[in-house]
Amino acid sequence: METFAAIDEIVSGGQIVLAADDGSVLATVREAIKSGRTETFYLPRAQADAIKVWYWSPTRIREAGMEPVSPGEKARIESELGVKCTGSAYSNKLSCECGGTYGAFEFLQQGIREHGKDMVEAIFAMKDASVIRVNPNNSAICVQCNQRMLGSHYYDYRNYGCCAETLAS
């Protein structure tokens, strides 16, 4: 009964809850990516992992410039932002015209600034669920000059990641 109460609460807030088999979920995410629509999926970890394996092919990883987040950057995330960054994490780095860079640290820093530390920590604390953002419309903001950066920042953490039409084939 608690499950239905949680569903009722979500729906009363104007959101939908969709239950489907793995193949249907993957097809829905693929269609969203190809259409260019911005959507957020909250999925069981196994479904999110299947999407990430399909989407983040070696070719896409190379095209996006994705690299594992270094132990040093993870340590900086934990010490300066106070966010525990466990498990695998991948990110590309953007360079700003002013000389600033934007990677995993700056992404999480911006997330804290825009959504609050509690929200960022809540996503990292999820045990069974993962968040997949499809065609996200947020812009990387340079921490040095506070300007919107050119290019797209891509990220893939244990239970949070993105997929974008710009890299889909």
Task: Tell me if 42 is assigned to some domain.
Answer: yes
Q: Are strands 94-95 and 160-163 parallel, antiparallel or unpaired?
A: unpaired
Cα separation, 126 vs 157, in Å, equals 12
Give the tens place of pLDDT for each residue, 73-114: 999 999 999 998 878 899 999 999 999 999 999 999 999 999
pLDDT digits (tens, 9 = 90+) for 13-28: 888 888 889 899 999 9
Pairing, β 160-163 against β 129-134:
parallel
Q: What is the band of 6 on the pLDDT scale with cuts at 50, 70, 90?
A: confident
Residue 8 lies in a domain: no
Answer yes or no: is 1 within a domain.
Answer: no
On whether residue 52 sits in a domain, the answer given is yes
The residue to which tokens 């990292």 are assigned = 124
In a domain, 82, yes or no: yes
Would you say the C-alpha torsion 79, 80, 84, 89 has a positive or negative sign? negative
In a domain, 156, yes or no: yes
Residue 2 has pLDDT above 80, yes or no: no
- Asked whether residue 5 is domain-assigned, the answer is no
Q: What is the pTM of this model?
A: 0.88
Q: Would you say the C-alpha torsion 66, 126, 119, 168 has a positive or negative sign? A: positive
Residue that wins the pLDDT comparison between 151 and 104: 104
Domain housing 39? 16-167
Write out pLDDT tens, residues 117-146: 999 999 989 989 999 999 998 899 999 999
Number of structural domains, the chain?
1
What pLDDT shows up at residue 64?
93
Contact 109, 81 (CB under 8 A): yes
- Residue 169 banded pLDDT, cuts 50, 70, 90: low
Q: Assess if residue 78 is contained within a domain.
A: yes
Q: What are 56-78's pLDDT values in tens digits?
A: 999 999 999 999 999 999 999 99
Long-range Cβ contact pairs of 59-64 (< 8 A, separation 24 or more): 59/169, 60/167, 60/169, 61/90, 63/167, 64/92, 64/152, 64/154, 64/167
